[in-house]
Amino acid sequence: MDFRIAVSRLWRAKVRRNLHPESALWETEQGSTWLRLLIFAVLYKFGIQNHIGADALSDFFNQCQMGQ
Cβ atoms 68, 18 nearer than 8 A: no
On the question of pLDDT at 68 being above 70, the answer is: no
68 located within any domain? no
Residue 33 lies in a domain: yes
* 18 touches 12 (CB < 8 A): no
Domain that holds residue 20: 3-63
Statement: residue 44 has pLDDT above 90: yes
pLDDT at 41: 92
- The answer to whether residue 23 is domain-embedded is yes
Residue 1: which pLDDT band, with cuts at 50, 70 and 90? low
The verdict on pTM exceeding 0.75 is no
Number of structural domains the chain divides into: 1
